[in-house]
């Protein structure tokens, strides 16, 4: 079943059924994940079969026939690949013809043919090489088990030989994907990213947290290299939040929205200095910092209206909030749509004391209850807010940021990333690990205890 699932669109009968009707299946990014199940189950079945061969000596006659059948089928299939590989596969990808056609247009039809034939020949060579390799390991396993069943090889020796064969096989395959070429010396890696003069000047800033936009890049919202040295508002990530992606596409599409840059605490631009031929930092005094108190709220209906409202607004004094969060805001700030007005506390302040990717600590001081906006992404699936150690609700402002109603006085405010899935999974993982150790201990102890009491081998009855 899982092998069929790994075919994806090439086997829609099964793939579409699971995609449309099985919960969460459509959340996986690739169908290849399904192969993880056969990769676990097939070796497990092989070990169970080996256990039966070792322990069920009275059934060895019937098992010998099954062993021969398995050998003939697997060895026969590999022999076909070794001797007549094109009988089963054509060794061409779905886009082979298209790519070769483009090469022919760019260069010459003969060159395209040579490249195409070369690719096919290389793939055939790799397939034949692996087929021969697999045949050798199958022959070793078959010969070992055969001699063990004929009592010409001790059970313990057979298990050791098969274990070594598995080790050599897995070692060789694993080294194809993870070997010395995949590791880099720290100094060598550091040389790949050398800070510019602008980078060095910005990194000298003692502030705990601020963001940078590198305008020297052709596409600063796609190029991720500035993130090596700075917290960048640009860059690219396959798991970037959809709401942030929408903000980038709407507010920075061919132009830079200064108010949005301010609320994201974009403290520096990196710009090219054409006269000096270097990059230079450009400090933005209008950046609003890590958090600030606002005195006015503008309520809107829905995300589209929220996005439209932040296109041109004053984030220093105004927060754009969806009406669904109105109850959390209360009456501590002015409603832009109301004639009522609250007195503004001009002495209120809030400061970031500690920064960690999953733990942010602030100190606030205000004479009256007020709403603070934080230059951090609103994400309610794991981030929790605490005021003086007490968990409190927070809400979304300005389409993407966090906002929190803070009571009057001096308070410690903390945002912690505490996803339930991780916390529960961590406990389940610990329990499962302990259970596995206990089960493994019993599995090892009980047969050995029985063997000692009977004076037999731990692999079964004593081998002759």
DSSP state of 462: P
* pLDDT value for 441: 82
Give residue 185's Cα distance to chain centre.
24
Select the more confidently predicted residue: 244 or 63.
244
CB 209 within 8 Å of CB 352: yes
Instruction: Name the average pLDDT for the chain.
Output: 87
Q: What is the pLDDT of residues 257-301, one digit of tens each?
A: 999 999 999 999 999 987 778 899 999 999 999 999 998 999 999
Q: What is the pLDDT of residues 189-202, one digit of tens each?
A: 777 788 899 999 99
Q: What is the pLDDT of residues 27-63, one digit of tens each?
A: 777 778 888 888 888 888 888 888 888 888 777 777 8
Q: Where in the chain are the domains?
A: 2-182, 190-283, 291-418, 421-464
Cα–Cα distance measured from residue 214 to residue 432, given in angstroms and rounded to the nearest whole number:
47
Cα–Cα distance measured from residue 76 to residue 133, given in angstroms and rounded to the nearest whole number:
14
DSSP H/E element including 312: none
Q: What is the pLDDT of residues 199-215, one digit of tens each?
A: 999 999 999 899 999 99
Cα–Cα distance measured from residue 439 to residue 456, given in angstroms and rounded to the nearest whole number:
23
Cα–Cα distance measured from residue 66 to residue 397, given in angstroms and rounded to the nearest whole number:
68
**Burial degree of 210 (CB within 10 A; 0-12, 13-18, 19+):** buried
Q: What is the pLDDT of residues 71-128, one digit of tens each?
A: 999 999 999 999 998 888 888 887 888 889 888 888 888 898 999 999 999 999 999 9
Cα–Cα distance measured from residue 115 to residue 123, given in angstroms and rounded to the nearest whole number:
12
CA distances from 190 to 106, 214, 217, 228 (A): 38, 20, 21, 10
Kindly report the backbone phi and psi dihedral angles of residue 332, in degrees, each rounded to the nearest multiple of 5, phi listed first. -80, -10
CB 268 within 8 Å of CB 283: yes
Tell me the residue ranges of DSSP E strands in 244-290. Answer: 266-273, 278-283
Cα–Cα distance measured from residue 412 to residue 364, given in angstroms and rounded to the nearest whole number:
7
Give residue 433's Cα distance to chain centre.
23
Contacts of 100 (CB under 8 A, 6+ apart): 112, 113, 115, 116
Task: List the 318-322 sheet strands across, edge first.
Answer: 318-322, 296-300, 334-335
CA distances from 148 to 151, 451, 460 (A): 5, 20, 13
Cα–Cα distance measured from residue 77 to residue 240, given in angstroms and rounded to the nearest whole number:
45
Cα–Cα distance measured from residue 223 to residue 342, given in angstroms and rounded to the nearest whole number:
44
pTM, to two decimals: 0.64
Q: Which token pair is 193? A: 């990213």
* pLDDT value for 22: 82
Contacts of 364 (CB under 8 A, 6+ apart): 348, 349, 350, 351, 372, 406, 410, 411, 413
Q: Which token pair is 403? A: 């906002």
């Amino acid at each position: 079943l899982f092998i069929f699932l790994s075919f994806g669109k090439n086997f829609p009968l099964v793939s579409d059924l699971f995609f449309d009707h099985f919960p969460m299946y459509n959340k996986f990014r690739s169908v290849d994940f399904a192969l993880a199940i056969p990769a676990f189950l097939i070796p497990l079945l092989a070990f169970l079969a080996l256990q039966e061969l070792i322990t069920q000596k009275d059934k060895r006659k019937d098992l010998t026939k099954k062993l021969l059948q398995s050998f003939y089928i697997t060895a026969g299939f590999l022999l076909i690949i070794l001797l007549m590989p094109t009988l089963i596969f054509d060794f061409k990808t779905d886009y082979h013809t298209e790519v070769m056609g483009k090469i022919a247009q760019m260069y010459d039809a003969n060159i395209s043919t040579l490249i195409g034939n070369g690719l096919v020949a290389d793939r055939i060579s790799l397939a034949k090489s692996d087929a021969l390799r697999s045949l050798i390991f199958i022959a070793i396993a078959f010969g070992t088990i055969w001699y063990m069943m004929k009592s010409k090889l001790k059970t313990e020796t057979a298990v050791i030989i098969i274990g070594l064969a598995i080790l050599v096989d897995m070692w060789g395959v694993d080294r194809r994907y993870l070997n010395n070429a995949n590791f880099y010396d720290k100094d060598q890696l550091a040389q790949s990213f050398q800070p510019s003069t602008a980078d060095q000047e910005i990194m000298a800033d003692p502030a705990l947290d601020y963001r940078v936009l590198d305008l020297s890049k052709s596409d600063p919202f796609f190029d991720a290299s500035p993130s090596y040295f700075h917290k960048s508002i640009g860059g690219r990530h396959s798991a970037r939040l959809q709401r942030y992606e929408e903000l980038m596409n709407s507010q920075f599409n061919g132009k830079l929205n200064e108010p949005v840059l301010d609320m994201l605490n974009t403290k520096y631009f990196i710009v090219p200095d054409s006269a000096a031929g270097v990059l230079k930092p450009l400090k933005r005094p209008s950046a609003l910092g890590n958090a600030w108190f606002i005195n006015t709220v503008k309520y809107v209906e829905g995300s589209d209206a929220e996005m439209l409202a932040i296109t041109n607004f004053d984030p220093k004094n105004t927060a754009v909030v969806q009406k669904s969060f109105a109850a959390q805001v209360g009456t501590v700030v002015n409603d832009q749509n109301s004639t009522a007005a609250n007195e503004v506390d001009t002495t209120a302040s809030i400061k970031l004391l500690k920064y960690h990717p999953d733990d942010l600590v602030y100190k606030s001081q205000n004479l009256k209850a007020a709403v603070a906006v934080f230059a951090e992404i609103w994400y309610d699936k794991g981030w929790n807010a605490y005021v003086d150690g007490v968990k409190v609700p927070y809400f979304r402002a300005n389409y993407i940021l966090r906002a929190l109603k803070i009571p009057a006085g001096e308070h410690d405010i903390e945002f912690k990333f505490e996803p339930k899935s991780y916390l529960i999974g961590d406990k389940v993982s610990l329990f499962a690990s302990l259970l596995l150790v206990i089960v493994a201990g019993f599995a090892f102890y009980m047969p050995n205890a029985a063997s000692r009491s009977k004076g037999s081998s731990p692999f079964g009855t004593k081998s002759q």
